[in-house]
């Protein structure tokens, strides 16, 4: 048995890493997170990531009265960071290292799993009746993926006012706006607000690859109207990117140096080998390694079987 390779239905993901400018649309797919309908834009179908960004879920906009649209029970992560950014509403985060954080629009939650953490995310009891946001993951490079888990909350990220709009920087830096977020490879992440009937030009690092997702309103990029259900990949070697909007827009702009390592993604784990994934699954099921989310009332999520013909749905 020791010679048998471990069978895991993991996705092997590598950087897009286009060496020039480009503009390519990749259709996002519709899926669900518990009862919540979401759009998953990363990893894109060709199993690619943008810089270190390996996962992108878009949820909302939605309004609710007596329900609790987000209720993701405790689940484990390794080898990644979760980065949560809201346009409307609230998300309550609890984890197995005792962090608790109420996230609101304008702030960011950055959870670094290192070798192991578990967390739960839910709509808090007191809420605005709205939910609208994104959750992203970054793949941790080999030098950081076995570090101890940590959690960072930034209440109000730095913003840069430019002609025609505002850039809210939650990862990396743009000119004087430095997110202050702890990341482990060259990265950029922001929400762009394009004002009504305006044009916004955002400077870019040419060594980075970038992608954009329209979150709200209308916008065009190089004359191409953006569809909110597609991720637009821009390639590298751009000094800037230019958007126009008639009624105003909110746009997610992410990027980073093309990630140098090939990663394996399965359920909520980012690893390098099937054996690492099999070990992580076994340890979660045995209540080892990842700790307990004591602040969450209710059962935790069970890992799916390792060999799953249908790709397991990450709990983000
Ligand atoms: Mn998660």
CA 56 / ligand 1 centre spacing (Å): 12
Q: At 59, which helix (H) or strand (E)?
A: strand 53-63
| Contacts (Cβ under 8 Å, ≥6 apart) of 297 | none
Position 67 confidence tier, pLDDT thresholds 50, 70, 90: confident
Distance from residue 308's CA to the centre of ligand 1 (Å): 20
Q: What pLDDT is stored for residue 89 in this prediction?
A: 98
CA of 274 to the centre of ligand 1 (A): 20
Cα 116 to the center of its chain, rounded Å:
18
Task: Give the residue from 213, 211, 245, 215 showing the smallest Cα distance to 230.
Answer: 213
Percentages helix, strand, coil for the chain (3-state, rounded to 5) are 5, 50, 45
- Residue 4: its pLDDT value, please? 60
Answer yes or no: are the C-beta atoms of 10 and 54 closer than 8 Å.
no
Residue 260: DSSP 8-state: -
- pTM reported for the whole predicted model: 0.94
User: What pLDDT, on a 0 to 100 scale, did the predictor assign at position 316?
Assistant: 61
| pLDDT, tens digit, 9 for 90 and up, residues 114-136 | 999 999 999 999 999 999 999 99
From CA 307, how far away is CA 9, in angstroms rounded? Answer: 5
**Mean pLDDT, residues 19-27:** 94
Distance of alpha carbon 313 from alpha carbon 32, whole angstroms:
8
- How far apart CA 188 and CA 9 sit, in angstroms, is 30
pLDDT of residue 43: 85
**Amino acid 314: pLDDT:** 67
Return the DSSP state at 50.
B
The pLDDT of residue 310: 40
Give the number of other Cβ atoms within 10 Å of residue 247's Cβ.
Answer: 11
Taking the centre of ligand 1 as the mean of its atom positions, its distance from the CA of residue 290, in whole angstroms, is: 13
* DSSP, residue by residue, 79-106: SEEEEEEEEEE-EEEEETTS-EEEE-TT
What pLDDT does residue 70 have?
94
Lowest mean pLDDT among 8-17, 95-104, 246-255, 263-272: 8-17
Residue 281 pLDDT > 70: yes
156 CA from centroid of ligand 1 (Å): 22
Terminal alpha carbon distance of the chain: 33
| pLDDT tens-digit series, residues 236-263 | 999 999 999 999 999 999 999 999 999 9
pLDDT of 277 > 50? The answer is yes
CA 219 – ligand 1 centroid, Å: 30
CA 217 distance to own-chain centroid: 21
Q: Is 228 helix (H, G, I), strand (E, B) or coil?
A: coil
| Å from CA of 137 to ligand 1 middle | 9
> For strand 11-15 and strand 48-49, is the pairing parallel, antiparallel, or unpaired?
parallel
Q: Which residue carries 């941790």 as its tokens?
A: 140
What would the pLDDT profile of 160-191 be if each residue is shown by its tens digit? 999 999 999 999 999 999 999 999 999 999 99
Q: What is the pLDDT of residues 36-61, one digit of tens each?
A: 889 999 987 777 899 999 999 999 99
CA of 316 to the centre of ligand 1 (A): 4
Quick check: 88 pLDDT over 50?
Answer: yes
User: What 3-state DSSP class applies to 25?
Assistant: strand
Cα–Cα distance for residue pair 241/45, rounded to 1 Å:
24
3 state SS of 276: helix
CA-closest candidate to residue 284, choices 272, 271, 297: 271
Mean pLDDT of the chain: 93
């Amino acid at each position: 048995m020791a010679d048998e390779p471990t069978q895991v239905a993991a996705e092997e993901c590598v950087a897009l890493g286009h060496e020039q400018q480009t503009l390519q649309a990749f259709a996002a797919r519709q899926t669900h997170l518990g009862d919540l309908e979401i759009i998953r834009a990363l990893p894109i179908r060709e199993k690619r990531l943008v810089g270190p960004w390996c996962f992108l879920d878009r949820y909302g906009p939605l309004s609710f009265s007596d329900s609790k649209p987000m209720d993701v029970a405790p689940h484990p992560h390794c080898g990644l960071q979760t980065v949560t950014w809201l346009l409307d509403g609230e998300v309550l985060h609890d984890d197995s290292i005792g962090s608790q954080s109420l996230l609101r629009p304008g702030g960011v939650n950055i959870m670094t799993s290192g070798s192991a953490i578990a967390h739960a995310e839910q709509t808090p009891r007191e809420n605005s009746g709205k939910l609208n946001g994104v959750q992203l993951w970054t793949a941790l490079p080999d030098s950081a993926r076995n570090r101890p888990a940590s959690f960072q909350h930034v209440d109000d990220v730095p913003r840069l006012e430019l002609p025609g709009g505002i850039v809210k920087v939650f990862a990396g830096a743009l000119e004087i706006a430095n997110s202050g977020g702890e990341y482990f490879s060259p990265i950029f992440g922001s929400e762009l607000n394009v004002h009504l009937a305006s044009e916004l030009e955002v400077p870019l690092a040419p060594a980075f690859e970038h992608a954009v997702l329209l979150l709200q309103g209308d916008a065009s990029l190089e004359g191409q109207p953006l569809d909110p259900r597609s991720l637009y990949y821009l390639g590298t070697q751009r000094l800037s990117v230019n958007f126009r909007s008639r009624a105003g827009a909110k746009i997610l702009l992410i990027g980073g140096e093309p990630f140098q390592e090939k990663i394996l993604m399965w359920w909520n784990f980012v690893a390098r080998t099937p054996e690492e994934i099999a070990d992580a699954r076994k340890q979660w099921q045995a209540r080892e390694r990842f700790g307990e989310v004591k602040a969450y009332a209710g059962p935790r999520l069970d890992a799916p079987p390792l060999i799953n013909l249908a790709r397991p749905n990450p709990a983000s």
